[in-house]
Amino acid sequence: MFKKFTNGCVHLVNRFLPDPFIFCIVLTVIVFIAAIPATGASPMQVVGGWGAGIWSLLSFTSQMILVLVLGTALANAPVVKRLVERIASIAKSPFQGIVIVTFVSLIACWINWGFGLVVGAILAKEIARQVKGIDYRLLIASAYSGFVIWHAGFSGSIPLALATPGEDALLAATGGAVSTPIPTSETIFAPYNLLMVLVIIVCLPFINAKMHPSPDETITVDTNLLVDEVRVFKKPETPAEKMENSVIASMIIAVLLLAYLVYYFTNNGFNVTLDIVNTIFLMLGIVCHKTPIAYVSAITDAAKGSAGIILQFPFYAGIMGMMTFSLDGGQSLASVISNFFVSISTEVTFPLFTFLSAGIVNFFVPSGGGQWAVQGPIMMPAALELGVDPAIAGMGIAWGDAWTNMIQPFWALPALGIAGLSARDIMGYCIITLLFSGIVVCGGFLIVGLI
């Protein structure tokens, strides 16, 4: 019965989910039509909000491209390849392969979402090379499924924002509801949050493994297509070639990057931002490839998979622009959705409805920071009015932001770029992750509301 349901989801997605770029266009049209009555604006005014938003994520787009490119280049270093191969060699069957990929991805994403997205996809490719008869689509979907807990972990932007000192910033972000920092012991490390994370980490690997298709429906990948090109570097002869192949040149830059990281963590504590993840990837990549020319070649190869991010992120930024657009400080489409859930909430149901509303908003505003800017000023004062702990309300938004990523191609693009697949290849399996994690988190927040 379970496999029949899974196969039904996979076939449904394969039939009706278009290429992610077409998906962007469809979402753009839907949000455009909905924003007109929600905001009371004219079509051209909504178009203005869309146009103003298109280029608002350029910095973030560059960060995501670098996550993909620097992470892939690091993974293709000989020493890292050997480590990944050893981990992958633990898997002796398709079932074990899916379990290992899911578990590693979940842990890595909980530590840092950018690191997890890359590590999971790279390990999945290596397991596909080594394990015969494993479904490649499910393997990559399992690698991506770990992303469902990222916002409940160390790199969760909302709990970290709540924990960051700065009265003015906190008051602005929370609509005046929070003025003093909320420690991560009440958000990331709160018992209810850790319990939900633990249930997902323990159960999801086996749920994913149980979805593996029967042999006649399994789609494998030609392992020859997963073999990376071996570059042969000739012995340096000219002064220029000797500089290109100088280990000393690489080590000088690596030492500078390491010195900066030591300086950063000394002054900021264990606050791992996306820029710091990329700095770590850059430093380790340079070290592991040993010579400048070898690293240049690795970056050149890795950059080929970034086309989807370059094309689609501006359109999602435009969708965010329409979702947050309002006339003279009036209501936006995102605030209409949030206010609806607030209006039907009680002290018991508020954490649950906060999570559900955040899941809906995230589908159109697929950015943790963007979502916090939209929902923080609405949901946090409402929590205060209903007597709900602001820390719980913040985590409700955080979990909702991560939850619907399972059916939103936006965040899957780095993993898909590494794997060489399209969104429709994995989203059918991700629906099961969405349903399972939704049940766990809904149950968790309902219990929190009752306590």
* Residue 36 in tokens: 């007109």
- Give yes or no for a contact between 436 and 203, defined as CB atoms under 8 angstroms apart: yes
Q: How confident is the model at residue 228 (pLDDT cuts 50, 70, 90)?
A: low
Answer whether residue 229 shows pLDDT above 70.
Answer: no
Residues 77 and 84: their CA atoms lie apart, in Å, by 11
* Residue 213 in tokens: 């298709």
Whether the model pTM is above 0.95: no
Give Cα 135 distance to the centre of its chain.
Answer: 23
pLDDT the model gives residue 399:
96
Domain ranges within the chain, ordered by starting residue: 2-222+234-450
Residues 204 and 225: their CA atoms lie apart, in Å, by 29
Instruction: Give the number of other CB atoms < 10 A from CB of residue 263.
Output: 10
pLDDT tens for 288-314 read 999 999 999 989 988 877 787 788 888
| Ordered DSSP codes for 324-336 | H--STT---HHHH
pLDDT tens for 170-189 read 887 788 888 898 888 899 99
pLDDT tens for 74-86 read 877 888 888 888 9
By CB atoms closer than 10 A (0-12, 13-18, 19+), residue 173 is buried
pLDDT the model gives residue 227:
61
